[in-house]
Amino acid sequence: MPFADSDFILAIIKDEDWLKEKATKVYARYKESLWTSGYTIVEILLISKRLNLDPERIVVHIYRLLKVKDLDERIALLAAHYIKEKKANVFDALHASYSQFDRIISSDAVFDELGIERVSLM
């Protein structure tokens, strides 16, 4: 089962990419067995702003294209929503997504803006 790295995934998702043609061929050959990790999702979310890519669209595409180990799709989608709509950074968005039903202990007020109950350190 081949592991899909971020450059491969981005080449498939992006409208134009110098690796797109080759990546598309490789994807066709291995699509039934491809997988990636949650860390790849984090990496792609981190560079999505620089590449002017919609984080929600990216996450949906990735989970449709291949299996993602160790990051629940709902958590990733919620994080992408926080990034896109609430302008949260990737790590705060992921922390908020994971802790959505619990309180979070933090000095960072961004969690208040995301609707996460916070135990403040201030």
pLDDT value, residue 64: 98
pLDDT value, residue 101: 87
- Predicted TM-score of the model (pTM): 0.93
Q: Do 68 and 36 form a contact (C-beta atoms < 8 A)?
A: yes
Instruction: Enter the tokens of residue 54.
Output: 């919609």
Per-residue pLDDT tens over the stretch 28-65: 999 999 999 999 999 999 999 999 999 999 999 999 99
> Cα(66)–Cα(52) distance, rounded to whole angstroms?
22
Q: How many CA atoms lie within 13 A of 80 on its CB side?
A: 26
Which pLDDT band, with edges at 50, 70 and 90, does 99 fall under?
A: very high
Per-residue pLDDT tens over the stretch 71-92: 999 999 999 999 999 999 999 9
Q: How many CA atoms lie within 13 A of 8 on its CB side?
A: 18
Which pLDDT band, with edges at 50, 70 and 90, does 122 fall under?
A: confident
Q: Do 51 and 14 form a contact (C-beta atoms < 8 A)?
A: yes
